[in-house]
A and B are shown apart, each in its own frame.
Chain A
Amino acid sequence: MTRRGRRLALIAAALAVVGGAAGLALYALSDSIVFFYSPSEVVEKALRPGARLRVGGLVKSGSVVESAGETVAFVVTDGTNNVSVSYQGLLPDLFREGQGVVAEGVLAAPDQLRADTILAKHDERYMPREVVEALKKEGRWQEGEDVAKP
C-alpha cells in the first residue's frame, strides 16, 4: 500500500470511530439527560406526568411520613411552591427535615414525583448548588447561610 493509501485508511478509520461515537452520543443524550427544576419551575412549566426530572429544594418541616414497605413521602419546597415526593428505599444518611435535598424520578402528577434517587447534602457545610440557586430565585436564601457556626 502506498503512503497515501495508508493515510486514507487511517483517516477513514478515525472518521468511522469518531462518527460512530458521535452518533451514539446523540442517541444517548436524547434519553439520558435529566433536567433540574425547582418546585416553582415544576408548577409553572406544568410538565406532563411521565417526564423524568430532578427536583431540588428543602424538605418541608413536618412533612416526612414513613409508612410500611420502606416507603417514604415528603414535600420538597422552595418556600413558594411544593412538590410532594414518594420514595421507596432507604433515605441517605444526611436526609433531614428543613435541609436541602435533590430528588430524581418520574412525575406521577403535575406536582407529585415518584423518586428513585434521593440525594442529600453530605456534610453540614454543603448544600447542593442547584438547591441554593433555586432558593435564591425565590428569595429564600441568605448568603453565608451555608457556613456553619463554629
Chain B
Amino acid sequence: MIVEIGHFALVLALAAALAQTVVPFWGARVGDGGLMAVGPSAALTQFALIAIAFAALVNAHLTSDFSVLNVAENSHSAVPAIYKISGVWGNHEGSMLLWVLILAVFGALVALFGRALPSALRADALAVQGLISVAFLAFILLTSNPFERLMPAPFEGRDLNPILQDPGLAIHPPLLYLGYVGFSIVYSFAAAALIEGRIDAAWARFVRPFTLVAWSFLTLGIAAGSFWAYYTLGWGGFWFWDPVENASLMPWLAGTAFVHSVAVMEKRDALKVWTIFLAILAFSFSLLGTFLVRSGVLTSVHAFASDPRRGVFILVILALFIFGSFALFAWRAPKLKQGGLFAPISREGALIVNNLLLTTSCATVLFGTLYPLALEQLTGEKITVGAPFFNLTCGALLLTACFVAPFGFSLAWKRGDLLAVAERLTVALVAGAVTAVLGAAWLSGGSVFAPLAAGLAIFVILGTLIEVVMRVRRPGLAPAVALKRALGLPLSFYGAALAHVGLGVTLLGLAGLGFGAETIATLHKGVPERVGPYSITLDWVGERVGPNYKEAATSMTVRSGAAVVAEIAPARRQFAARQMTTTEAGLATLNFGQVYVAIADPTPDGDVPARLYWKPLVTLIWLGAGAMALAGSLSLADRRLRFGAAARAKAGGGSLAQPAQ
C-alpha cells in the first residue's frame, strides 16, 4: 500500500511540475502576479510529493519488501540497515529518484528564499526548473519506475552489489547529486535572465550562494568517490580517467570557472554574457554526465544494468536542454548589456585567464571522453584514450591554472601591477622553485610531473598565505589594529584564500604519489617485506564469517626500523548471494601518507600474495578537497552573500555595487 502511495505521489509530482512550468511562465509573459505566485507553491508541493515517494521507497527497502522489483533485485534481508537505505540509490531507478528529489529540494529553496527577487525573474527560473523536473519525472515514470511490483514475490532478495556495500555508497552519490543538480538552479536562472533579456549584479548576488553550495558538494562528492575507489577497488588508484569520473570532473571544471566569473560579475558588473554561458555549460555537463552514466553507452564501474529505451529517452532530454538553452543564448545574449571596463593586467584579467584554462581543460576532457565513442560509431574501431592523454593535456592546463592562481588572488581589481605582485610573491616563487629542484634531485631522472607539481603546490599555498598576511599587516602597524583589520576582511576573502590553499594541498598530495613505492610479493608468516621506508610482516591468516559474507582475513604489522607503527588487517570477502569477491585493503595512515596493502586469495599453506604500496602525502588529496568545500561554505556564510541578500543590497543603492573591501 505504501508503495502505491509512493508511486501515486510521483505521478502527482509530475502534475505539480507541469503546473510549475506552465503557469508562472505564462504569468510572467502577461504580467499577472497571481499566476506567477503559483510557481513557489507548485515547487513546494512538488518537493513534498517527491519526498513522499522517496520515503516510500526507503521504507520498502528498510522493510525488505521483496514484492517490489527494485528491492528484490538490490537488497537482501541480511544486509545491515545502513546498506538497506543506501541501497535505495545503489541502483538505476532509485538513483534517478534521488536525482529528482534533489532537483525539487533546490526548487523549494528558490521558492522559500527567492522572495526578494524580481517576480518575473523568479517565475521564469522556477518555470525552467519545473521543466527539468517534468522531463526527469516522465523519464522515471515511463522507463525506470522504482515502484514496479514483482509477482510472485521472491523469499529473498538478490542482494546489493557487494562493492556497493560500503559507507561510500551512503555518502558519495548524494553529495555528488547535490553538486550536479545544484547547477540546475544556476542554469534555470541563466535561462530566466536570457528570457527576461536583463541581467545585473543583483542576479549574480542571488545565484552565487547556490553556485557555492553546488560547487562545494560537487567537490566533496568527487573527493568522496575517489577516496571510495581508492580503498575499495584494491588497486591503490584514486582516479582512473574513467569516462564516468570525467563526467563528474567536467561540471566541476565548468563550475569552478563559473564561481570565478560570477565573482567578477558581482563585483565589477563585467563578463555577463560569458557568465551566462558558463552557467548553461556547467549544467549541460551535469546532464551529459547523467546521460553517460545512465544510458548504458559506457560500461564502467558506475553503469547499472542498462535498457536501450532509457538511453534514447535521456538523449532526448539532453538534446532538449542543451540545444534549447544554447539556442536561447544565441538568440538573446547579444541583447545583454556589457559593462565594467578593466585593463588586461588586473584581477578581472587574471580571472579570464583562469576561465580560459579551466574551460579549455574541460574541453580536452570532453574530447578524450567522447572521441572513442565517436570513432567507434564512425569507423567501428575500438580504442581507449588512457590516462597519459588526460595527464598531458588536462594536467598541463590545470597546472598552468595553479600557477596563475596566486597572481590573480593578489592583483587588484580594474588595473593591477604585475611587477609589484611578483615582488610580493618572490618568497613563494623561490620556495616553490627550490622544492621542485630538490624533488627532481631526489627522484633523479624520474617523472618530471611530481617535482613540478610539488613546487607549484608550495607556490600556491605560500603565495596565498602571503597575500592574506599583506592584507592584514603593514610595517609599523600595531598588532591590535592588524587584528581589527583581519576581522574586518569579508569572509568571502577568507573563503577564496582557503580554497586556494586547499588546491595547493591537493596538488601536494598528487605530487607525493611520484615519491611513493609499490611492490608485489608473496608474504610468508613472520618474514618482513619492505615497501618504501616501512616493512610489513604477516602475523596471522584465517577465516571469518560476517552477516552476509565470509572472508579470508589476515593481520599484519607495519614497522619503521624495529618500531611497530601500525597494525593492518587486509581481507578478501566472498559474498554468497552474488558469488562475488571484494578486496578489503589494509590501510595505515602515517604522517599524511598511507601504507596500503591488498591481498589475493591465500595459498593452502598460508602464504598471502599481496600488493604493497607506500603512498606519501596521499591523504592530502582529500584533505585539500575538504578544505575547498569548507571554503565554499565559508564564503556562503559571508553576510553579503546569504540567500536573499540580493534585495537588501539593491535597496541600498545603484546596481553597480562596489566591493566592500
Are B163 and A33 in contact, CB atoms less than 8 angstroms apart?
no
Are B356 and A13 in contact, CB atoms less than 8 angstroms apart?
yes
From A25, A70, A130, contact of B393 by CB (8 A): A25
Given A25-B389, A32-B389, A54 and B598 touching (CB < 8 A)? Answer: no
Are A128 and B580 in contact, CB atoms less than 8 angstroms apart?
no
Partner-contacting stretch, out of B32-40, B172-180, B358-366: B358-366
CA distance A93 to B583 in the complex (A): 7
- Please indicate the chain A residues that have their CB under 8 angstroms from the CB of B583 in the complex: 93
Partner-contacting stretch, out of B135-143, B380-388, B482-490: B380-388
From A9, A32, A35, A126, contact of B381 by CB (8 A): A35
CA distance A91 to B601 in the complex (A): 10
Are B161 and A32 in contact, CB atoms less than 8 angstroms apart?
no
Indicate if B334 sits at the interface (CB-CB under 8 A). no
From A3, A13, A90, A93, contact of B609 by CB (8 A): A90
Nearest-Cβ distance from residue B277 to partner chain A, whole angstroms: 13
B 577-605 binary contact with A (CB < 8 Å = 1; else 0): 01111110000000000000010100000
CA distance A13 to B359 in the complex (A): 13
Within 8 A of B (CB), among A48-102: 54, 70, 88-91, 93-94
- Please indicate the chain A residues that have their CB under 8 angstroms from the CB of B578 in the complex: 123-124
For B367, B384, B522, B572, which residue has the most chain A Cβ atoms within 10 angstroms? B384
Given A13-B352, A32-B386, A90-B600, A70 and B520 touching (CB < 8 A)? Answer: yes
From A17, A27, A31, A89, contact of B520 by CB (8 A): A89
From A10, A25, A89, A122, contact of B611 by CB (8 A): A89
Residue of A nearest to B297 (CB): A129
Are A29 and B385 in contact, CB atoms less than 8 angstroms apart?
yes
Within 8 A of A (CB), among B114-164: 154, 158, 161, 163
CA distance A27 to B392 in the complex (A): 9
Are A54 and B520 in contact, CB atoms less than 8 angstroms apart?
no
Within 8 A of A (CB), among B296-320: 299, 301, 303, 305
CA distance A28 to B343 in the complex (A): 35
- How many residues of A are in contact with the other chain, CB < 8 A? 41
Are A35 and B393 in contact, CB atoms less than 8 angstroms apart?
no
- Please indicate the chain B residues that have their CB under 8 angstroms from the CB of A29 in the complex: 371, 385, 389
Residue of B nearest to A128 (CB): B299
Are B353 and A18 in contact, CB atoms less than 8 angstroms apart?
no
Indicate if B107 sits at the interface (CB-CB under 8 A). no
Nearest-Cβ distance from residue B299 to partner chain A, whole angstroms: 5
Indicate if B80 sits at the interface (CB-CB under 8 A). no
- Please indicate the chain B residues that have their CB under 8 angstroms from the CB of A129 in the complex: 299
- Please indicate the chain B residues that have their CB under 8 angstroms from the CB of A10 in the complex: 344, 352
A 4-44 binary contact with B (CB < 8 Å = 1; else 0): 00100110011001100100110111011111110000000
Given A25-B364, A90-B611, A32 and B580 touching (CB < 8 A)? Answer: no
- Please indicate the chain A residues that have their CB under 8 angstroms from the CB of B579 in the complex: 124
- Please indicate the chain A residues that have their CB under 8 angstroms from the CB of B581 in the complex: 93-94
CA distance A24 to B392 in the complex (A): 7
- Please indicate the chain B residues that have their CB under 8 angstroms from the CB of A91 in the complex: 600
- How many residues of B are in contact with the other chain, CB < 8 A? 51
Are B598 and A90 in contact, CB atoms less than 8 angstroms apart?
yes
Are B301 and A28 in contact, CB atoms less than 8 angstroms apart?
no
Residue of B nearest to A125 (CB): B305
From A35, A94, A123, A126, contact of B383 by CB (8 A): A35
Indicate if A150 sits at the interface (CB-CB under 8 A). yes
Are A93 and B582 in contact, CB atoms less than 8 angstroms apart?
yes
- Please indicate the chain B residues that have their CB under 8 angstroms from the CB of A9 in the complex: 344
Are B580 and A21 in contact, CB atoms less than 8 angstroms apart?
no
- Please indicate the chain A residues that have their CB under 8 angstroms from the CB of B299 in the complex: 126, 128-129
Residue of B nearest to A14 (CB): B356
Nearest-Cβ distance from residue A54 to partner chain B, whole angstroms: 6
From B344, B363, B611, contact of A1 by CB (8 A): B344
CA distance A114 to B161 in the complex (A): 32
CA distance A90 to B343 in the complex (A): 57
Indicate if B234 sits at the interface (CB-CB under 8 A). yes
Nearest-Cβ distance from residue A137 to partner chain B, whole angstroms: 10
- Please indicate the chain A residues that have their CB under 8 angstroms from the CB of B158 in the complex: 150
Are A70 and B522 in contact, CB atoms less than 8 angstroms apart?
yes
Are B357 and A33 in contact, CB atoms less than 8 angstroms apart?
no
Indicate if B396 sits at the interface (CB-CB under 8 A). yes
Are A123 and B163 in contact, CB atoms less than 8 angstroms apart?
yes
Indicate if B397 sits at the interface (CB-CB under 8 A). yes
Are A21 and B360 in contact, CB atoms less than 8 angstroms apart?
yes
CA distance A94 to B234 in the complex (A): 12
Nearest-Cβ distance from residue A150 to partner chain B, whole angstroms: 7
**Apart from A18-B360, A25-B393, A104-B384: 18 A-B pairs, beta carbons within 8 A:** A3-B341, A6-B341, A9-B344, A10-B352, A13-B353, A17-B357, A18-B363, A21-B393, A24-B393, A29-B385, A29-B389, A33-B386, A36-B382, A70-B521, A90-B609, A93-B581, A126-B299, A150-B154
The 6 closest A-B pairs by CB, nearest first: A36-B382, A32-B388, A28-B392, A32-B389, A93-B581, A28-B389
Ordered by A's residue number, 25 sampled pairs between the chains whose C-beta atoms are within 8 Å are A1-B343, A13-B353, A17-B356, A21-B393, A24-B364, A24-B393, A24-B397, A25-B364, A29-B385, A32-B387, A33-B383, A54-B384, A88-B520, A89-B520, A90-B598, A90-B600, A93-B580, A93-B582, A94-B580, A122-B163, A123-B163, A124-B579, A124-B580, A126-B299, A150-B154
